[in-house]
Structure 1
Amino acid sequence: MLIDRLKSRLTKDRPMTSITLRIPVDVVESMKAIAPQRDFSGYQALLKSYLSEGLRRDEAQFASHQQARLIEALKRQGVSEEIIEAAERELSAA
């Protein structure tokens, strides 16, 4: 579930891996200039922030899309609007 994945990202002792990216020099220079303005220690921390922001946005978008598809499928199966709304309220309260 998306919420569980997001919660697990809050732990500081997650396994890490190293990767290699080829990024244009001018982009790296721009990140180096912007990082201190956004209170980051360096461009790599800024890059991680950009990746995290984009990933969270995409995951939320896709989760929302999946939820909408599930609701439509439940309606086609004859699940009442009241039951679906109650389930959504229950999930929101969790």
Structure 2
Amino acid sequence: MKAEDLKKRLDKSRPMTTITIRIPEDVIEDLKRVAPLLGFSGYQPLVRAYIGQGLRADLDRLDGDTVSTLIASLKRHGVSDEIISEALSEATGRHSNS
């Protein structure tokens, strides 16, 4: 996740939207039991944390898939592994000492 996006996610004053979701009662009871054990003030912050974790994992995976697809396409177009590696290093800020 980009640093800018992470800063936005950590901003406590972000606008919130109320939603309605149907969840089995036993799941809610488990969430209520587990939330304080994990340091959450209630089950709703825990649910938001679970959603955020899953969303970040999927976003990272999808962003990674895009990069992998781009790399495969560049290779099919004859771009060398060395040039691809250098470009990735520049893009991620990890410059190599060639």
Segment of structure 1 superposing worse, 9-18 or 40-49: 9-18
Are positions 1:16 and 2:16 aligned together? yes
Task: Give % identity.
Answer: 47
Distance 1:7 1:68 in 2: 26
CA RMSD in angstroms, aligned pairs only:
1.7
In the comparison of the two structures, how many residue pairs are matched? 93
Are positions 1:62 and 2:28 aligned together? no
Structure 1 residue 6, shift from structure 2 partner: 3.9
Gaps of at least 5 residues in structure 2 are: none
1:55-93 deviation per Cα after TM superposition (whole angstroms, max 9, x unaligned): 111111111111100001111122221111011111222
Structure 1 residue 37, shift from structure 2 partner: 0.3
1:12-61 deviation per Cα after TM superposition (whole angstroms, max 9, x unaligned): 33222111011111100000000000000000000001001111111111
Segment of structure 1 superposing worse, 44-53 or 76-85: 76-85
When normalised by structure 1's length, the TM-score is 0.87
Question: More relative contact order in 1 or in 2 (CA 8 Å, sep 6+)?
Answer: 1
Kindly report which structure 2 residues correspond to 1:64-79, keeping only aligned pairs within 5 A, or say none: 64-79=64-79
Q: Tell me the secondary structure at the aligned position of residue 85 of structure 2.
A: helix
Gaps of at least 5 residues in structure 1 are: none
